[in-house]
Homo-oligomer: A and B are copies of this chain.
Amino acid sequence: MTAVDAPEARVIFERPALLEERTTHYCPGCGHGVVHRLVAEVLEELGIGGRTIAVAAVGCAVFAYDYLHVDFVEAQHGRAPAVATGVRRVRPDAFVLTYQGDGDLAAIGTAEIVHAAARGERITTVFVNNGTYGMTGGQLAPTTLLGQRTTSTPLGRDARLNGYPLPITEMLALVPGTAYAARGSVATPALIGKTKVMLRRACEAQLEDRGFGIVEVLSNCPVGWGMTPVESIAQLEVVAATYPVGVLVDRTREG
């Protein structure tokens, strides 16, 4: 047997160019990092990074502009879809993206996301649902599971006091302006791959002028959940029982 050098090793996986080579401020194991990478890959594959104007939402991922190599505007908490609408209407050639957390999108920003969808606004929303307010210390989010302990539901979420988990993406899927809505997850390599396909479809819904596109990504917040990263990834299976993964609506094939 002869051993030889392999200078032309095939690259199976490498960091996408649109993802800045910089240490993120995210906690170890935080799902935001995976979603960032997927976004970078999709923009890159679609060749639209150079005309992307993204909107950063308030939440742990507000610093997305430090990691994604595209233009960014920072929105007020919850208002990213409205900010994106402003961008959209004056920049017909831009690709417009919002990146929002579940506190941002499903709580304070409910009106803005619903009406961006209702208008069929040609924007794409990446919605990272980690079931909590990561940035402010792990409080209850609209998406928190029943029974889940958070810093503002120390005894676990009680439907009577704190309400039910909100199926916001299902609600958005009802709106005719929503061209594409899907729910992915960072739980496994396979689901991550599936999520990437969803993101691509949601971007294409905009590029093909179909309407509003959104992908909810079930993600982990190990610190907010009081778990190790590995435990938190396993927990995503429990989360998916309340929030089933899959395509919720695809109107891009119509008309």
- Would you list 27 pairs from A and B whose C-beta atoms are within 8 A, ordered by A residue? A107-B111, A107-B115, A108-B111, A109-B111, A110-B110, A110-B114, A110-B115, A114-B114, A114-B171, A115-B142, A115-B166, A118-B164, A118-B166, A119-B162, A119-B164, A120-B159, A120-B164, A121-B163, A159-B176, A164-B175, A164-B176, A164-B177, A166-B175, A167-B174, A170-B174, A171-B171, A171-B174
Q: Which of A160-196 contact B (CB under 8 A)?
A: 160, 162-167, 170-171, 174-177
Across-interface contacts of A109 in B (CB, < 8 A): 111
Q: How far is the CB of A111 from chain B (nearest CB, A)?
A: 4
CA distance A163 to B176 in the complex (A): 9
Shortest Cβ gap from A42 to chain B (Å): 26
Closest to A109 in B: B111
- State the interface size on chain A (CB cutoff 8 A): 26
* Cβ proximity bits A111-135 to B, threshold 8 Å, 1 near / 0 not: 1001100111100000000000000
Query: Cα distance A111–B159 when bound, in Å?
Result: 18
Chain B neighbourhood of A174, CB < 8 A:
167, 170-171, 174
Q: Is the CB of A114 within 8 A of B177?
A: no
Given contacts A108-B111, A119-B163, A174-B174, 15 further A-B contacts (CB under 8 A): A107-B115, A110-B110, A110-B111, A111-B111, A114-B166, A115-B166, A118-B166, A120-B159, A163-B177, A164-B175, A164-B176, A164-B177, A165-B176, A166-B175, A171-B175
